[in-house]
Amino acid sequence: AQSVSQHNHHVILSEAASLELGCNYSYGGTVNLFWYVQYPGQHLQLLLKYFSGDPLVKGIKGFEAEFIKSKFSFNLRKPSVQWSDTAEYFCAVSVKTSYDKVIFGPGTSLSVIP
C-alpha cells in the first residue's frame, strides 16, 4: 500500500535557524507531491506543490521543497524560520490510480522559539 513518512515528529528551532523537514513516500508510479500547513486554530492550507518540471519548487512564506525521484523524497526547507512559522506540517502524495487519492504523512510539529 502507498504510504508517506515524515522524519521528525516534533522539531524545535530558534528564530533565524534553518529548517529542513524530511518526507519520503512509497509508490513507484506517477505522483503529485504537496506540503500542507496547519497554523494553530486555522484550516489546513497548501504550502507548495510539485507536479512536474523543475524539481525545486517554491511556495508561500519563503518555503521551498526539492523532489528527488531516486530517493522518493520531497523535503521541505526554509533558510530562516520565524516565530510565525510555528505550525504542523504535513507532506502529502497524490497517487494516480483509477482514482486520484491523496495520502498524508503523520505530520511534523514545528515550534519556533523567539
Partner 1 sequence: DGGITQSPKYLFRKEGQNVTLSCEQNLNHDAMYWYRQDPGQGLRLIYYSQIVNDFQKGDIAEGYSVSREKKESFPLTVTSAQKNPTAFYLCASSTPYNNEKLFFGSGTQLSVL
Which CB, 17 or 103, lies closer to partner 1? 103
Identified binder of partner 1 from the candidate list 8, 18, 45, 82, rule CB under 8 A: 45
The three cell numbers of residue 86 are 510555528
> Residues in contact with partner 1, total (CB under 8 A)?
24
Q: Given the rule CB under 8 A, which of 20-28, 39-47, 53-61, 66-74 is the region that contacts partner 1?
A: 39-47
Identified binder of partner 1 from the candidate list 11, 13, 20, 32, rule CB under 8 A: 32
Q: Is 69 in the site for partner 1 (CB under 8 A)?
A: no
Strands 73-78 and 64-68 turn out to be antiparallel
DSSP class of residue 15 equals: T
Which CB, 73 or 108, lies closer to partner 1? 108
Identified binder of partner 1 from the candidate list 1, 52, 53, 54, rule CB under 8 A: 1
Cβ 44 to partner 1, closest distance in Å? Answer: 4
